[in-house]
A and B are shown apart, each in its own frame.
Chain A
């Protein structure tokens, strides 16, 4: 029973950590991308499920974002990872993180 409780605690901790990581990534996405890509913003609304994960990676690898995002390399990597994790072909596609 004690073992089970420990396992459940560890499991809950891992789940919570994952949730925090996701929330952080989402926050970063909203902060860095959502400032322009929003309804009535400077650019069209964009969401992770607009493209497949591999397509997002290629998009940034090709430097296709039309304007300087003013984002450092580490944050950009985290945003791309978030986009891939919630892309159209992922297990958890996110299509309305930024409302359309």
Chain B
């Protein structure tokens, strides 16, 4: 092409030169200018063609017209699809759980009245839990994860609309702008750091931690072992990868900070309340690793300090709320998901707490209550053990169902941050013994059923409370349940 375009130019030049020497050719000035202009245009065209990509040349030159049109059409379709894909910044997933529980409770101590119930039960307590899971790979080193949750009793919304018309119009009438933010956090791995570092900030994945994934039949859901922390938490976490230094797979150390209580003025929410409480700050460090020599395993060592714990029972008419002291928590969690390559999963979790009361007490009915004491000053220690195993039955015909057993024991004065427990009676807070057996029947990759039975024998009253010392208990709880869980 280049050659062809240059030919007229050469001819013109030759003609001009040849005719100039022996014979002169006289051209009108306008013709001469036109020839020069034509030369210039040709030169520009040649340069343009030289700068075009080889792909273009191949496409236009080599392809038949129909094929070239088809390719263009495919490109246009790809453009639309790719544009739509790139605009979809968040991936959505969902899970729905419907559960029915049968509860029987004996000798439960009612905090508000100070009396002990004889026997109470609920033959069929039905709940629905819907979760919308979100995630986005924002950048190569920046990831967002979130979860919005609606969790309710059947036919029970406790909303203003429910007063007259029940639950059936709760999502169909104006009723505020709240949704429940279960978790929303960003993982950021800064580039060019001298050490492997990840920063996580937001509302953390701090519920249903190890070993709950065994019973929940899913991947690990939380950074923290459930015995020490099972709930929602806002904070910042720095994780330093240690694998390159220790040689232990997935080893790392985490430093976490968060607040379990932030004081605010109800009128001006950005200000502290006048004469308000100190915030409760939680500082924690975790070391975790895969146990050397054991594939698909986990070891977590935990230490946590929560300062200025708050007792706030203003809704019961106990005023004022107060800071009642600090607490330390320590934990060891070990877990093997395929013991010796078998279908057995096994775990053992230990916890220890120690209180540092500040002398503050509050009174309610017959009680005087400080931090796990009734005098405001006594410091106590508690401990807990949580262990269990599960066996996946290798039966493809039955979709490999799973059977599991768990046991946990908490001493007097055992307390940890497990108020967000999946089990509504806060199983791991129990000061006593709990036996739990379950069977999981998968139907396919997205749907499974679980039924189980739990028996809790409480040695001390009002497990899960961090205030007061309510003495011995004869409380027993029996819970049989069935649930269907669908995730997609």
Could you list which residues of chain A lie within 8 angstroms of chain B, going by C-beta atoms?
50-55, 59, 61-64, 68, 73, 88-89
Whether B83 and A55, one on each chain, are in contact in the complex, defined by CB atoms closer than 8 angstroms, is yes
A63 contacts which of B52, B83, B87, B89 (Cβ < 8 Å)? B52
Whether A51 and B53, one on each chain, are in contact in the complex, defined by CB atoms closer than 8 angstroms, is no
B83 contacts which of A52, A62, A68 (Cβ < 8 Å)? A52
A61 contacts which of B51, B53, B86 (Cβ < 8 Å)? B53
Nearest A residue to B56 via CB reads A63
Q: Which residue among A50, A68, A73, A89 has the maximum number of chain B CB atoms within 10 Å of its CB? A: A89
Whether A54 and B82, one on each chain, are in contact in the complex, defined by CB atoms closer than 8 angstroms, is yes
Interface residues of B in 25-67 (CB under 8 A from A): 48, 51-53, 55-56, 59
Whether B53 and A88, one on each chain, are in contact in the complex, defined by CB atoms closer than 8 angstroms, is no
**B123: A residues at CB distance < 8 A:** none
**A88: B residues at CB distance < 8 A:** 83, 86-87
Known interface pairs A52-B86, A68-B48; 18 further A-B residue pairs with C-beta atoms within 8 A, sorted by A's residue number: A50-B83, A51-B83, A52-B83, A53-B86, A54-B82, A54-B86, A59-B75, A59-B79, A62-B53, A62-B55, A62-B75, A63-B56, A64-B72, A64-B75, A73-B51, A88-B86, A88-B87, A89-B86
**A55: B residues at CB distance < 8 A:** 79, 82-83, 86
Q: How far is the CA of A88 from the CA of B59 in the complex (A)?
A: 28
Whether B51 and A89, one on each chain, are in contact in the complex, defined by CB atoms closer than 8 angstroms, is no
Q: What is the CB-to-nearest-CB distance from A39 to chain B, in angstroms, rounded to a whole number?
A: 21
Whether A52 and B72, one on each chain, are in contact in the complex, defined by CB atoms closer than 8 angstroms, is no
**B59: A residues at CB distance < 8 A:** 63
Q: How far is the CA of A61 from the CA of B56 in the complex (A)?
A: 9
Q: How far is the CA of A62 from the CA of B57 in the complex (A)?
A: 10
Whether B75 and A89, one on each chain, are in contact in the complex, defined by CB atoms closer than 8 angstroms, is no
**B56: A residues at CB distance < 8 A:** 62-63
A52 contacts which of B48, B55, B82 (Cβ < 8 Å)? B82
A89 contacts which of B55, B72, B87 (Cβ < 8 Å)? B87
**A51: B residues at CB distance < 8 A:** 79, 83
Q: What is the CB-to-nearest-CB distance from B284 to chain A, in angstroms, rounded to a whole number?
A: 36
Nearest A residue to B82 via CB reads A55
**B48: A residues at CB distance < 8 A:** 68
Q: Which residue among B48, B59, B79, B89 has the maximum number of chain A CB atoms within 10 Å of its CB? A: B79
Q: Interface residue tally of chain B, by bracket?
A: 10 to 19
Nearest B residue to A49 via CB reads B83
Nearest A residue to B45 via CB reads A68
Q: How far is the CA of A89 from the CA of B89 in the complex (A)?
A: 9
Q: How far is the CA of A42 from the CA of B51 in the complex (A)?
A: 25
20 A-B residue pairs with Cβ-Cβ distance under 8 Å, sorted by A, are A50-B83, A51-B79, A52-B82, A52-B83, A52-B87, A53-B86, A54-B82, A55-B86, A62-B55, A62-B56, A63-B52, A63-B53, A63-B55, A64-B72, A64-B75, A68-B48, A73-B51, A88-B87, A89-B83, A89-B89
**B82: A residues at CB distance < 8 A:** 52, 54-55
Nearest B residue to A50 via CB reads B83
Nearest A residue to B49 via CB reads A68
Q: How far is the CA of A64 from the CA of B79 in the complex (A)?
A: 12
The 4 closest A-B pairs by CB, nearest first: A63-B56, A52-B86, A89-B86, A52-B83
Q: How far is the CA of A65 from the CA of B377 in the complex (A)?
A: 80
Nearest B residue to A70 via CB reads B48
Q: Which residue among A52, A53, A61 has the maximum number of chain B CB atoms within 10 Å of its CB? A: A52
Q: What is the CB-to-nearest-CB distance from B144 to chain A, in angstroms, rounded to a whole number?
A: 15
Q: How far is the CA of A56 from the CA of B56 in the complex (A)?
A: 16
Q: How far is the CA of A52 from the CA of B87 in the complex (A)?
A: 7
**A53: B residues at CB distance < 8 A:** 86
Q: How far is the CA of A52 from the CA of B53 in the complex (A)?
A: 22
Q: Which residue among B55, B56, B86, B89 has the maximum number of chain A CB atoms within 10 Å of its CB? A: B86
Nearest B residue to A65 via CB reads B56
Interface residues of B in 55-100 (CB under 8 A from A): 55-56, 59, 72, 75, 79, 82-83, 86-87, 89
Q: How far is the CA of A68 from the CA of B47 in the complex (A)?
A: 13
Q: How far is the CA of A55 from the CA of B87 in the complex (A)?
A: 12
**A89: B residues at CB distance < 8 A:** 83, 86-87, 89
**Beta-carbon contacts of B313-355 to A below 8 Å, as 1s and 0s?**
0000000000000000000000000000000000000000000
Q: What is the CB-to-nearest-CB distance from A74 to chain B, in angstroms, rounded to a whole number?
A: 12
Q: How far is the CA of A34 from the CA of B194 in the complex (A)?
A: 49
**A63: B residues at CB distance < 8 A:** 52-53, 55-56, 59
Q: Which residue among A50, A54, A63, A73 has the maximum number of chain B CB atoms within 10 Å of its CB? A: A63
Q: How far is the CA of A94 from the CA of B51 in the complex (A)?
A: 30
Nearest A residue to B54 via CB reads A63
Q: What is the CB-to-nearest-CB distance from B293 to chain A, in angstroms, rounded to a whole number?
A: 45
**Beta-carbon contacts of B272-299 to A below 8 Å, as 1s and 0s?**
0000000000000000000000000000
